[in-house]
């Protein structure tokens, strides 16, 4: 149970990194990635996954 | 002092050297104080404390924009709302519009770039953070980290930021703490019904909101943020994008709402819309306004919140005087190659003193020229528009063929007033003119009676005359406003004799494409 970032569509704006409550998102080799071990899909924390809600390119999706 | 840093040496006028002796400013006319002459933006019109804050800020003072340069550092890529006129996937160095940037910077890289640019451009007075996303999204972390370092490293530079306002109320205290004197809020509506047509969604309190809910929250946050800033004495400029058929008439209400909350300036800008930009509006055929449509709305707002008409809708990484972008000279690679750059404000201090001395006496000479027009022409002749080729310094000092934009002045019995600018492709490149480009220039200044230039060739001169626009080079290197008034006096006389015709009713095309030209 985790989200992933479609790197081809990512604009590398970093909005998701700032919103992630689990510090699961980081910049690796010029693109943002989600650590599946840390991602909770924000269940029990927020109504919806924060990365997907803030992403301007709608590229944070279920893995 | 003026020999130390002259405008002309800075601007590299080359073969177009100004005359050795400048005409002396005429004595001030009696019976016309500068404050009653409606001079825009002058020290006589505002509280001295406010004038002190804006006099060197090109985006807040129309007068300052002729002399001072700004620099945007692109440290804030994240955004918290989606606008129908923005698509941030698109990144092209040949494009000039807000939201677009070629290189994102970390705060450390930004500081290095600022110090390097400050060394090269003594006109630099302002550092702004305008995105390319929202400067206060992602908790404004990069924005405030940059300002904190900058305040220590280059204390003579003014700080400003621009935001959509959604997160503004959370950050007003921090903004005040960093002595950020100038904040720009983009406010396109005060009615959520209108807002719902502009903003598909916002991200607020851990949730994506859409439709009327989104527009209502954004509106409330914008008004609250504006009130909080003005109550702390921070100058606020409001930017509005004019979208024909969506918010054009509504902008009068926006103007009233922001004025009543203490906004210092209101800047109504034309929508930039092109299918190639991939924006919702661009792809759906939403057009931008024509030059006269924009002017009608701006004129209707006159008397409300003070209007700004000199905005160039800069990129979020623009460098230089408004109307030019020297960003290409300061890419990350080039900055890296410069090595360590130390802080030294001497050239900037010298330049600012030089500008102060240039400005002294201008108010009197403008007032005298205006009194002369009033006496000889009276109020029987309608004002006209004049296009001016200038490199800055409030002088007519650009060759027609080298102009990348024309500044537009409205001149009449009430004085000469800057009302906007028109971007064009440079007509003359590599020594020869291009006919297609000339057509573009004609379309851009079609509502003007004359075009003032430092120099112009025979061929474009004839095309202009055929199109009914008089090319005028007899005021080369003189001050714009005084020359415009002298021309108007002569025009009124010729109009009376039936030698010239009025161009009332003509419109012009606003070109919103690329500002690709670099200063040679």
In terms of residues, how long is chain A? 63
Chain A residues with CB inside 8 Å of B80's CB?
15, 54
**What's the pTM value of the predicted model, to 2 decimals?**
0.77
Structure confidence at residue B11 (pLDDT)? 39
Under 8 Å between Cβ of B366 and B37: yes
Beta bridge mates, B238: B185, B266
* Residues present in chain B in total: 520
Mutation for testing the A interface, residue in B104, B141, B206, B279 having most A CBs under 10 Å: B206
Asked if B78 and A12 come within 8 Å (Cβ–Cβ), the reply is no
Average pLDDT over residues B483-501: 91
Question: Which domains occur in chain A, in start order?
Answer: 3-62 (3.30.70.20)
The closest CB to that of B78, out of A15, A47, A50, belongs to A15
CB-nearest partner of A47 from B89, B141, B207? B207
Q: Within 10 A of B262 (CB to CB), how many other CB atoms are there?
A: 16
- For residue B296, give every residue at least 6 positions away whose Cβ sits within 8 Å of its Cβ, in sequence order, or none: none
Interchain contact, A15 vs B80, CB within 8 Å: yes
Give the Cα separation of B373 and B384 in Å (integer). 13
| CA–CA dist B388, B489 (Å, integer) | 17
Residues 6+ apart with CB under 8 A from B199: B81, B82, B83, B84, B214, B215, B218
* Average pLDDT, rounded, for chain B: 81
Are B78 and A47 in contact (CB < 8 Å)?
no
Between chains, do A11 and B89 touch, taking CB under 8 Å as contact? yes
Chain B closest-CA separation from residue A46 CA (Å): 7
Mean pLDDT of all residues in B245-271: 92
Contacts of B293 (CB under 8 A, 6+ apart): B242, B244, B248
Which residues of chain B make contact with A54, given a CB cutoff of 8 A?
Answer: 78, 80, 203, 208
Coil, helix or strand for B390? Answer: coil
Domain B35-338 bears CATH identifier 1.20.1530.20: no
Q: Residue B132: closest CA among chain A residues belongs to which residue? A: A13
The average pLDDT across B371-382 equals: 86
- Inter-chain CB pairs, A–B, below 8 Å: 51
Question: B442-468 b/e with 16+ CB inside 10 Å = b?
Answer: bbbbbbbbbbbbbebeeebbebbeebe
Is the CB of residue A55 less than 8 Å from the CB of residue A6? no
What are the tokens at B305?
Answer: 């919140």
Least confident of B37-41, B383-387, B482-486: B37-41
| Interface residue B141 vs chain A (CB under 8 A) | yes
**Dist. CA B413–CA B495, nearest whole Å:** 14
Whether the per-residue pLDDT at B161 is higher than 60: the answer is: yes
Same fold, B35-338 and B366-497: no
On whether the CB atoms of residues B449 and B383 are closer than 8 A, the answer is: no
Most confident of B226-230, B326-330, B400-404, B437-441: B226-230
Residue A37 Cα, gap to closest chain B Cα (Å): 22
Averaged pLDDT, B91-100: 53
Question: Looking at chain A, which residue has its C-alpha nearest residue B84?
Answer: A56
Nearest-CB residue to B88 (from A11, A14, A18): A11
Q: What pLDDT is recorded for position B503? A: 83
Least confident of A47-56, B38-47, B392-401, B500-509: B38-47
Check CB contact under 8 Å for A56 and B139: no
Q: Give contacts of B 185-214 with A, CB under 8 A.
A: 203, 206-208
Q: Which CATH architecture has domain B366-497?
A: 2-Layer Sandwich (3.30)
Nearest by CB: B139 against A9, A18, A50:
A18
Q: pLDDT per residue over B427-453, tens digit each?
A: 776 556 677 788 888 989 999 999 999
Reported confidence tier of residue B507, pLDDT bands at 50, 70, 90: confident
Give the separation between CA B208 and CA B222, rounded to whole angstroms: 18
Q: Distance (Å) from the C-alpha of residue A17 to the closest C-alpha of chain B?
A: 8
Distance, CA of B157 to CA of B150 (rounded, Å):
8
**Angle made by CA atoms B512, B507, B454, in degrees to the nearest 5:** 75
A15 neighbourhood in chain B, CB within 8 Å: 77-80, 133, 137-138, 203
Cα separation of A4 and B126, whole Å? Answer: 40
| Gap between the Cα atoms of B20 and B360, Å rounded | 20
3-state secondary structure labels for all residues of B277-332: HCCHHHHCCCCCCCHHHHHHHHHHHCCCCCEECCCCCCCCCCEEECCCCCHHHHCH
Q: What are B520's two structure tokens?
A: 């040679």
Residues of B in contact with A18 (CB under 8 A): 78, 137-139, 141
Which of A43-57, B413-427, B442-456 bottoms out in mean pLDDT, i.e. has the lowest? B413-427
**Residue pLDDT, tens place only, B343-366:** 788 888 888 888 888 777 787 888
- pLDDT at res. B425: 76
Contact A14 B79 (CB under 8 A): no
Which tokens hold the place of B343? 């802080």
Question: How far does B112 lie from chain A, in Å, by closest CA?
Answer: 21
Nearest residue on chain B to A15, alpha-carbon basis:
B78
**B206–chain A nearest CA distance, Å:** 7
Residues of B318-351 as b/e, b for ≥16 C-beta within 10 angstroms? Answer: bbbbbbbbbbebbeeeebeeeeebeeebebbeeb
pLDDT band at B312 (very low <50, low <70, confident <90, very high): low
pLDDT number for residue B399: 93
* pLDDT of res. B14: 33
- Chain B CB contacts of A11 under 8 Å are 77, 88-89
Nearest residue in chain A measured CA to CA from B102:
A11
φ, ψ for residue B216, nearest 5 deg = -70, -45
pLDDT of A13 strictly over 60: yes
What residue ranges do the domains of chain B occupy? Answer: 35-338, 366-497
Q: What pLDDT is recorded for position B209?
A: 97
Distance from CA of B119 to the nearest CA of A (A): 30
Neighbour order of strands in the sheet with B207-210: B81-82, B201-204, B207-210
What residues in B contact A57, CB-CB < 8 Å? 89
A37-50 core/surface letters (b: 16 or more CB in 10 A; e: else): eebbbbeeebeebb
Q: Is residue B98 a contact partner of residue B313, using CB atoms and an 8 Å limit?
A: yes
Which residue has better confidence, B88 or B121?
B121
Cα distance between residue B317 and residue B325, in whole Å: 9
Q: What is the ipTM of this complex?
A: 0.95
pLDDT of residue B247: 95
- DSSP, collapsed to helix, strand or coil, labels residue B369 as helix
Nearest C-alpha in B relative to A45: B206
Residues B242 and B271: beta-carbon distance below 8 Å: yes
Q: What span, in angstroms and rounded, lies between the C-alpha atoms of B261 and B496?
A: 46
Confidence grade of residue B499 (pLDDT, cut at 50, 70, 90): confident
Residues of A in contact with B82 (CB under 8 A): 56
Residue pair A6/A61 in contact (Cβ under 8 Å)? The answer is yes
Judging contacts by C-beta atoms under 8 Å, the chain B residues touching residue A47 are 206-207
Give the tens place of pLDDT for each residue, B102-118: 678 899 989 988 888 88
B88 touches chain A (CB under 8 A): yes
Q: Within 13 Å of residue A59, how many CA atoms lie on the same side as its CB?
A: 19
- CA B312 remoteness from chain centre: 4
Does the beta-carbon distance from A46 to B206 stay under 8 Å? yes
Percent helix, strand, coil in chain A (nearest 5)?
15, 20, 60
DSSP alpha helices (H): ranges in B239-290? 251-260, 280-283
Contact criterion met (CB below 8 Å) for B328 and B101: no
Nearest to B472 by CA among B492, B487, B493: B487
Q: Cβ of A13 and B133 within 8 Å?
A: yes
* CB-CB under 8 Å, A53 with B206: yes
Cβ-defined contact of A46 to B207 (cutoff 8 Å): yes
Interface of A with B in 3-62 (CB under 8 A): 9, 11-15, 17-19, 46-48, 50, 53-54, 56-57
DSSP for residue B128: E
Residue in B247, B285, B253, B286 with CA at minimum distance from that of residue B269:
B247
């Amino acid at each position: 149970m985790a989200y992933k970032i479609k790197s081809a569509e990512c604009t590398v704006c970093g909005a998701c990194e700032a919103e992630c409550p689990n510090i699961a998102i980081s910049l690796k080799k010029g693109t943002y990635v989600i650590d599946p071990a840390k991602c909770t899909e924000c269940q029990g924390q927020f109504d919806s996954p924060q990365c997907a809600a803030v992403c301007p390119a709608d590229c944070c999706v279920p893995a | 002092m003026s020999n130390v840093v002259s405008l002309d040496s800075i601007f590299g006028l080359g073969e177009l050297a100004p005359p050795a002796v400048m005409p002396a400013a005429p004595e001030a006319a009696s019976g016309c104080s500068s404050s009653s002459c409606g001079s825009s933006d002058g020290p006589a019109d505002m509280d001295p404390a406010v004038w002190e804050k804006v006099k060197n800020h090109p985006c807040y003072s129309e007068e300052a924009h002729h002399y001072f340069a700004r620099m945007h550092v692109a440290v804030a890529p994240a955004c918290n709302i989606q606008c129908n006129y923005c698509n941030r996937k698109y990144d092209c160095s040949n494009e000039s519009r807000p939201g677009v940037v070629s290189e994102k910077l970390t705060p450390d890289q930004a500081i290095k770039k600022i110090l390097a640019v400050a060394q090269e451009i003594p006109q630099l007075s302002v550092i702004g953070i305008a995105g390319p996303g929202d400067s206060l999204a992602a908790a404004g972390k990069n924005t405030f980290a940059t300002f904190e370092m900058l305040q220590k490293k280059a204390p003579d530079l003014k700080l400003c930021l621009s935001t959509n306002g959604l997160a503004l109320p959370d950050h007003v205290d921090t903004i005040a703490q960093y002595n950020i004197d100038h904040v720009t809020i983009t406010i396109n509506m005060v009615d959520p019904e209108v807002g719902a047509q502009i903003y598909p969604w916002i991200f607020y309190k851990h949730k994506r909101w859409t439709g009327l809910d989104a527009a209502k929250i954004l509106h409330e946050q914008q008004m609250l943020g504006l009130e909080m800033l003005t109550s702390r004495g921070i100058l606020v400029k409001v930017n509005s994008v004019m979208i024909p058929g969506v918010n054009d008439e509504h902008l009068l209400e926006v103007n009233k709402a922001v004025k009543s909350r203490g906004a210092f300036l209101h800047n109504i800008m034309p929508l930039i819309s092109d299918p190639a930009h991939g924006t919702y509006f661009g792809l759906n055929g939403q057009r931008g306004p024509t030059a006269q449509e924009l002017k009608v709305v701006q004129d209707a707002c006159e008397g409300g919140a003070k209007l700004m008409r000199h905005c160039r809708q800069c990129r979020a990484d623009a460098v230089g005087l408004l109307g030019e972008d020297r960003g290409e000279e300061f890419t990350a690679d080039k900055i890296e190659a410069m090595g360590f750059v130390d802080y030294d404000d001497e050239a900037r201090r010298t330049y600012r003193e030089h500008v102060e001395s240039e400005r002294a006496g201008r108010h009197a000479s403008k007032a005298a020229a205006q009194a002369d027009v009033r006496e000889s022409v009276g109020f029987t002749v309608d004002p006209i528009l004049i296009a001016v080729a200038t490199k800055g310094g409030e002088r007519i000092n650009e060759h027609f063929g080298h102009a990348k934009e024309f500044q537009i002045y409205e001149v009449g019995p009430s004085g000469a007033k800057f009302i906007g600018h028109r971007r064009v492709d440079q007509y003359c490149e590599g020594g020869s003119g291009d006919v297609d480009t000339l057509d573009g220039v004609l379309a851009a200044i079609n509502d003007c009676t004359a075009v003032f230039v430092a120099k112009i060739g025979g061929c474009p001169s004839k095309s202009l005359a055929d199109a009914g626009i008089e090319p005028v080079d007899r005021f080369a290197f003189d001050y714009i406003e005084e020359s415009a008034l002298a021309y108007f006096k002569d025009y009124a006389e010729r109009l009376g004799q039936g030698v010239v015709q009025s161009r009332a009713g003509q419109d012009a095309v606003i070109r919103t494409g690329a500002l690709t030209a670099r200063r040679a």
